[in-house]
Amino acid sequence: MAELAREKEKMVDTLVKKLKDPSSEATKSGKDVVVRLPMLRFFRYDGASERFLLELEGTMAGPGEVCEESHLRLKVKRYAADAELPAKLKGFNEAFGTTLRKEIFAAHAAGADTDDGGSFQGPSAGGEADCVIVGGSGSSKDAAAVDEGKAVAVAKSADRVLDLKEFEELARGLGDGDLARLSASLGKKVAIAADVAMERVESQERGVLAQMEKMTRFEARVADLEQQNRILDGIKDKLRGINSGLKENNDVLMKTCEELGEKYEKLEDKSGRLEEENLKLKENLEDNAKIIDELRSAADKDAQTIAEQAKLIKIIGPELEEKTNFIKEADDLLRANFAVLYENYKSALEVFGAEPLPYPGDGDVVKIFDWMREEFEVLPEVISGLNDYAASFCLDSTLQLLEKEGCNHFMALSADDY
């Protein structure tokens, strides 16, 4: 296809050169040459939109025919990345700060846009003896006739040609106003076509700049997501460490609580026995008070018994006070450890925008243990939600990277029939 396009481009360039050369015999009147321009096929490139190329192709002539706007032909010439740009295009890029690598040419055939629609009849006499076909359907033998002094014109078919001599006579017969209007019409159409072509090129450049800006935003977004992923990975590592520390502290606390519970039970048993003994002592004292008179003979013995019981009470009293102080110290130690644990646990949850239930610091130890049990029951749900959030971020970043690299296969996953 590229080779065919180059051959067609070379054919048109040769014809335009013959038409523009003032020293060529082909510009002299007297002979007619029928020119049939072949269709210039445009292939889609990344630099031009499909709609622009289709509209431009619609202005081209097909094999053996000329389009209605026969006075104007448009052609796009592209230059490779390593090709040398012509001076005109290079100057345009320097003046407007653009990077265009294609040109739009306009070739004009005089006398094809008169008020009657550009329909001129060729000479009836002579037929095709004095005419030659140049272009898509002409032969190489006929194409050589261009160099033999025959004039060149554009016609709609082989039997309908434009007689330049007749057109010149008609033009000379026009008044100054009609001739001026004809010239103005031709110039205006060329100017309009040039303006439209320039607008489309500028629109294409703006589209490219918008795409570049969009890609820049995408790259910045990808970099931001990568940074967030790195932050989430760091947070995840910290959470693992905190979770491990919490498990270790939990084991230590549970063991300490079990030991304190056992000691507390022992103290309760001992306190119960002491209470029973105190009750018995009180009963004995009451009984002794009642039978003092009856036991005068045993007063010394009873006095000694009372003294021994009083001594026993003095010994048991400090021991009971010591146990009570030990229980109080254990309670204070538990409260202090629970306060430190609560602050660490609260700091860990604040990283993710969460906070624990209110800490029952003024309550007893049983309420604190109930609070800890409730918090540990919901902790796995919090960690699972964080893992899901991190996985969602990783998947979103991966899909955006695939889309950036041009891999669109994963888009089929969102289809309804997938």
In a domain, 202, yes or no: no
pLDDT attached to residue 156: 37
Number of neighbours of residue 401 by Cβ within 10 angstroms: 13
280 occurs within a structural domain: no
Whether 108 and 248 share a structural domain: no
Q: Which residues contact 412 (CB under 8 A, 6 or more apart)?
A: 418
22: burial class by Cβ within 10 Å (0-12, 13-18, 19+)? exposed
CA 300 to chain centre: 104
| pLDDT value of position 418 | 56
Give the per-residue pLDDT at 95: 65
Separation of alpha carbons 200 and 34, rounded Å: 33
HSE toward the beta carbon, residue 34, CA cutoff 13 A: 28
At 369 the pLDDT is 80
Query: Are 144 and 25 members of one domain?
Result: yes
Statement to judge: residues 226 and 169 lie in one domain: no
Tens place of pLDDT per residue across the chain (418 aa): 455 456 655 655 665 565 545 555 444 444 444 444 443 333 333 444 555 555 555 554 443 333 444 444 455 677 888 888 888 778 777 766 778 777 665 444 444 444 433 333 333 333 333 333 333 333 333 433 334 333 333 333 334 445 677 767 777 777 777 777 777 776 777 778 777 877 887 787 787 778 878 888 888 888 888 888 889 888 888 888 888 888 888 888 888 888 888 888 888 888 888 888 888 888 887 777 777 777 676 667 667 777 887 777 778 778 778 888 888 888 788 888 888 888 887 887 777 677 777 877 777 777 888 888 888 787 788 778 778 877 888 888 888 888 888 777 767 666 667 5
| pLDDT at residue 35 in the model | 43
Give me the pLDDT at residue 137, please: 37
Q: Give me the domain span that covers residue 398.
A: 221-273+317-414
Cα distance between residue 78 and residue 85, in whole Å: 10
Half-sphere exposure of 253 (CA within 13 A, CB side): 21
Continuous segment of H or E residues that includes residue 399 = helix 365-404
Structural domain contains residue 201: no
Number of domains in the chain: 2
Residues 122, 23, single domain; the answer is: yes
Check whether residue 238 and residue 150 sit in a common domain: no
Residue with tokens 């760091």: 234
- Structural domain contains residue 205: no
Contact 151, 30 (CB under 8 A): yes
pLDDT at 116: 38
Q: What pLDDT, on the 0 to 100 scale, is given for residue 75? A: 57
- Answer whether 253's CB lies under 8 Å from 337's CB: yes
117 and 231 in one domain?
A: no
Residues 123 and 20 occupy one common structural domain: yes
Query: 149 — phi, psi (to 5°)?
Result: 90, 20
Q: How far is CA 20 from CA 13, 14, 32, in A?
A: 11, 10, 16
Whether residues 246 and 99 share a domain: the answer is no
Please report, to the nearest 10 degrees, the dihedral formed by the alpha carbons of residues 267, 269, 273, 279 taken in order. Answer: 90
Residue 291 included in any domain: no
Which 3 state secondary structure label does DSSP give 35?
A: strand
Query: Are residues 344 and 269 both part of a single domain?
Result: yes
**Domain membership flag for residue 285:** no
Q: What is the 3-state secondary structure (H, E, C) of 230-255?
A: HHHHHHHHHHHHHHHHHHHHHHHHHH
* Residues contacting 146, CB < 8 A, separation 6+: 15, 18, 26, 33, 132, 134, 152
pLDDT value for 265:
87
